[in-house]
Amino acid sequence: MKKLLNTSALVLAFGLATFSAAFAADGDKTKGASYYAVCAGCHGADGMGMEATNAPRLQGQFDWYLIRQLKNYQSGARGVHKEDIYGATMRGMAGTLPNEQAILDVVAYIDSL
């Protein structure tokens, strides 16, 4: 049983690694740089975040996580509660990314910082 669990964990880890590598490969960081121009105002040109704008650090974060959060803002899974003012701000910003490719591009750029 233990061996079976270990094997499943390995298969899962491999699957996730392949999955996130695929994301990184799909983004165009040159296009992403132009999308990031607006983001830099709050998250910093270096992606290190700024307490003054309440914007967290993005640089160094997993690309798959950033992609998921941007999709969550766009879908309304995040940033819609009436007391979530920072989330609401970010939800508007995620709206500046016109499609899924734009999300991959901006994340590829953040990944390169």
Question: In angstroms, what CA-CA distances link 76 with 1, 28, 31, 82, 94?
Answer: 41, 25, 25, 12, 10
- For 100, other C-beta atoms within 10 Å of its C-beta total 13
Q: Closer to ligand HEC at the Cβ: 6 or 96?
A: 96
Token pair listed for 60: 């160094």
How near is the Cβ of 6 to ligand HEC at its closest, in Å? 31
Where do contacts with ligand HEC occur on this chain (CB under 6 A)?
35, 38-39, 41-43, 53-56, 58, 66, 69-70, 79, 86-87, 89-90, 93, 96-97, 106
C-alpha span between 89 and 76 (Å, rounded): 12
In the bound state with ligand HEC, the residue whose beta carbon lies nearer, of 6 and 92, is: 92
* 10 vs 41 by CB, closer to ligand HEC: 41
CB of residue 25 to ligand HEC, shortest distance in Å: 19
